[in-house]
């Protein structure tokens, strides 16, 4: 089902290999404004292509790209390859190192209705339009989206292990993750990757806006380059990881609320109509509190903190029109009860509301509330991967910012061009034996 191709990647010239930690960039929404500013201060950091600035960001990115090409800052590999990409990391309090294994390739930008790539959240039109404009103007993809596939036999891991043993890059990134990338260019091995993936569905973990931008751009180019069997505008850059035997970690994303019009005591009384509310001794400890039971949350408001647990029987009054895989999610309950019913922000309007902010850093949640900037913070627990897979396969979508797969894939390790003369290759040679 999923057609992937190797990449004739553009990469930073060999002279820059020792400085890769200074040239790569995390996803825009996972770093602070201060961290982003430091990235922009480096004139050859990949953020200038992935999230360009200025009055005409896309045009600025194109000028930057052309400059880097002409000056030899980035160079294109002569042969296409599949890039093994391993991320070694530890979570707070852990001693043993985890490793998330995967590879970067090109995948056809399938429409959602084709049910080859399955999503779990909706997108914002303005953000998708920005991605389309950037892709149309630059014809380059600077950061991969993240997709999951299921392969219980782990047929590809041995080839990735061999590539990682002779890495192109190995360095520690902004979050303390050890990033290692190697390349596979042997046609027989690449053919095996294509063969394994062709029967798979892909679950989109990260990058809904970038992928939807690629889908819309592909649709806009329908009928173009009809003489070409392999068209660059059909494909999208993706980091693919196996759900089996892998360290796929989903971290929680908390909610901050600003501009509360109710008195805090009045809000608490309304919350008590739905939840069992218990005072919690120390707000600082909520970040490590184990919310074992479903539909439980932490609440930090003023100098006080609480635990909230949905009262028995209240689920019978919530979202009865939704399938159970969505209805039973903690965040579905939170957004329907607290933000919609108690605070009066309709679910459809919550995504664009400037009163609700999504924050992964627990300490920052506490700071925002204690400083008086935020009215309160809701501390959430992490989702299980099985829940994400179930929702994706149902065809439904989750509340916004439900998942935070950790660690995030970096941008700038390689760049995938969809410009036809740079994309062109006899990709059919990688399919010949598998189609006999």
Number of domains in the chain: 2
- Round the average pLDDT of the chain to a whole number and report it: 92
435 located within any domain:
no
Report CA torsion sign: 151, 235, 63, 58: negative
Q: Give the helix/strand (H/E) hosting 269.
A: helix 264-272
Q: Are residues 243 and 257 in the same domain?
A: no
Q: How confident is the model at residue 190 (pLDDT cuts 50, 70, 90)?
A: very high
Q: Give the helix/strand (H/E) hosting 364.
A: helix 362-370
Q: What is the pLDDT of residue 29?
A: 67
pLDDT tens by residue, 408-431: 999 999 999 999 999 999 999 998
In this model, does residue 194 exceed pLDDT 60? Answer: yes
C-alpha closest to that of 218 among 114, 110, 118, 129: 110
Q: Are residues 287 and 157 in the same domain?
A: no
Q: Are residues 114 and 168 in the same domain?
A: yes
In this model, does residue 130 exceed pLDDT 50? Answer: yes
Higher pLDDT, residue 385 or 434: 385
Q: Are 252 and 279 in contact (CB under 8 A)?
A: no
Q: Are 295 and 284 in contact (CB under 8 A)?
A: no
For the chain, the C-alpha Rg in angstroms (whole number) is 23
Higher pLDDT, residue 245 or 361: 361
In this model, does residue 30 exceed pLDDT 80? Answer: no
CB burial readout 138-159, b (16+ within 10 A) else e: bbbbbbbbbbbbebeeeebbeb
389 located within any domain:
no
In this model, does residue 434 exceed pLDDT 50? Answer: no
In this model, does residue 290 exceed pLDDT 90? Answer: no
Q: The domain containing residue 322 runs over which residues?
A: 253-381
C-alpha closest to that of 301 among 381, 370, 380: 370
pLDDT tens by residue, 196-248: 999 999 999 988 889 999 999 999 999 999 999 999 999 999 999 999 887 88
Q: What is the pLDDT of residue 374?
A: 96
In this model, does residue 138 exceed pLDDT 90? Answer: yes
Task: Quote the CA–CA distance of 307 and 340 in Å, as a whole number.
Answer: 20
In this model, does residue 435 exceed pLDDT 70? Answer: no
Q: Are residues 351 and 415 in the same domain?
A: no
Q: Give the helix/strand (H/E) hosting 305.
A: strand 304-310
Length of the chain: 436
Q: Are residues 36 and 176 in the same domain?
A: yes
pLDDT tens by residue, 74-127: 999 999 999 999 999 998 778 889 999 999 999 999 999 999 999 988 776 667
Q: How many CB atoms lie within 10 A of CB 200?
A: 18
Distance of CA 123 to the CA centre of its chain: 13
Residue 192: what are its φ and ψ, rounded to 5°? -65, -40
Q: Are 150 and 200 in contact (CB under 8 A)?
A: yes
Q: Are residues 28 and 118 in the same domain?
A: yes
Q: What is the pLDDT of residue 125?
A: 65
Distance of CA 397 to the CA centre of its chain: 15
Task: Give the torsion through C-alpha atoms of 124, 128, 129, 132, to 10 deg.
Answer: 180
Q: Are residues 141 and 54 in the same domain?
A: yes
To the question of pTM greater than 0.85 for the whole model, the response is: yes
Q: Are 412 and 256 in contact (CB under 8 A)?
A: no
In this model, does residue 335 exceed pLDDT 70? Answer: yes
Q: Are residues 275 and 216 in the same domain?
A: no
Q: Are residues 200 and 292 in the same domain?
A: no
Q: Are residues 219 and 195 in the same domain?
A: yes
């Amino acid at each position: 089902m999923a057609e992937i191709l190797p990449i004739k990647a553009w990469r930073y010239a060999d002279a820059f290999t020792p400085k890769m930690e200074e040239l790569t960039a995390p996803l825009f929404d996972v770093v602070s404004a201060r961290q982003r500013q430091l990235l922009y201060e480096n004139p050859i950091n990949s953020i200038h292509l992935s999230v360009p600035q200025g009055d005409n960001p896309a045009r600025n990115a194109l000028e930057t790209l052309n400059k880097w090409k002409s000056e030899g800052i980035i160079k294109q590999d002569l042969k296409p390859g599949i890039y093994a990409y391993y991320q070694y990391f530890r979570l707070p309090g852990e001693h043993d190192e985890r490793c998330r294994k995967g590879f970067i390739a090109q995948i056809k930008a399938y429409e959602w209705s084709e049910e080859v790539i399955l999503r779990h959240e909706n997108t914002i039109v303005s953000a998708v339009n920005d991605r389309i404009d950037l892709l149309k103007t630059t014809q380059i993809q600077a950061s991969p989206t993240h997709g999951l596939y299921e392969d219980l036999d782990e047929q590809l891991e041995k080839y990735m292990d061999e590539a990682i043993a002779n890495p192109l890059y190995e360095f520690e990134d902004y979050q303390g993750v050890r990033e290692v990338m190697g390349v596979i260019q042997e046609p027989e091995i690449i053919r095996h990757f294509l063969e394994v993936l062709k029967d798979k569905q892909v679950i989109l973990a990260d990058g809904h806006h970038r992928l939807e931008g690629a889908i819309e751009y592909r649709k806009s180019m329908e009928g173009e380059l009809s003489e070409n069997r392999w068209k660059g505008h059909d494909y999208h850059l993706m980091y693919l990881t196996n759900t089996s035997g892998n360290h796929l970690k989903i971290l929680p994303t908390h909610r901050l609320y600003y501009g509360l019009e109710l008195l805090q005591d009045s809000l608490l009384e309304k919350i008590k109509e739905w939840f069992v509310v218990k005072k919690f001794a120390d707000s600082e400890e909520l970040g490590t509190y184990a919310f074992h039971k479903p539909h439980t949350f932490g609440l930090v408001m003023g100098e006080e903190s609480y635990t909230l647990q949905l009262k028995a029987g209240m689920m019978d009054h919530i979202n009865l029109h939704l399938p159970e895989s969505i209805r039973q999610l903690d965040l579905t309950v939170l957004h329907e009860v607290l933000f919609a019913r108690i605070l009066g922000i309709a679910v459809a309007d919550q995504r664009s509301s400037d009163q609700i902010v999504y924050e992964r850093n627990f300490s920052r949640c506490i700071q925002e509330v204690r400083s008086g900037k935020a009215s309160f913070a809701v501390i959430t627990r992490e989702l299980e991967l099985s829940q994400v897979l179930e929702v994706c396969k149902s065809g439904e979508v989750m509340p916004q910012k439900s998942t935070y797969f950790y660690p995030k894939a970096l941008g700038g390790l390689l760049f995938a061009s969809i410009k036809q003369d740079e994309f062109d290759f006899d990709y059919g040679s990688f399919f010949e034996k598998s189609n006999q």
